Amino acid sequence: SITRWDLESWPLEELSGYGGLFVVRNDSDVRSIEDMRGKVIASEVASATEGLSGGLLQWREMLSRGISLTDDTKAVVWISGGPFAMGELLIERKIDVALMRTSMLEFFYQSGQIGQNDWRAVEGGVQKWKGSTFPRVSSTPIVPEWALSVLDWVDSDVSKAVLESLLKLSWIDPVWG
């Protein structure tokens, strides 16, 4: 069974990007994105509107192959418990595919929650990021972390002033904690 571990305490090197994974049980017949037709897929609820790696990156990959998440799959299960809840559903065989962010397979392996031969990433492989190899398996292209975003109603002068102020801060400044 999958338990909630403190991801903050898990030793991960600092990464400036991330991608998405299509995670399946190792004994699954899903070998490609095209094989996801007629399958039950789990995605995070937040992904419906804002979550890149928990769904949007994967949906884009599916659409690029002519596969609609809602029309071509058997069902979409919207999960609010994130990768831990999806992991439990994979173990119980209640879903066929879980949409997770990069690093989650490695997290589950290294934390001992699953064995190296229990799950795999569909079309997961090495991706290039900033001219070198990204250190995690990904089923999608790697995208930048969301360091800062601005809502559309914020005045552009205000957003520029905030950005300029942040860029002037020193990494050794006590503001960073």
Domain assignment present for residue 169? The answer is no
Tell me if 164 is assigned to some domain. no
CATH number at residue 100: 3.40.190.10
Question: DSSP strand E in the chain: where?
Answer: 17-18, 20-25, 40-44, 75-79, 97-101, 119-121, 128-129, 132-133, 143-144
pTM of the complete model beyond 0.85: no
User: What residues in the chain have per-residue pLDDT under 70?
Assistant: 1-14, 46-54, 146-148, 167, 169-177
Q: How many domains does the chain have?
A: 1
Residue 124 in any domain: the answer is yes
Provide the pLDDT for residue 108: 87
- Domain residue limits at 72: 7-144
With respect to residue 149, please indicate whether it lies within any of the assigned structural domains: no
Whether 151 maps to a domain, the answer reads no
Predicted local confidence at residue 54, as pLDDT: 65
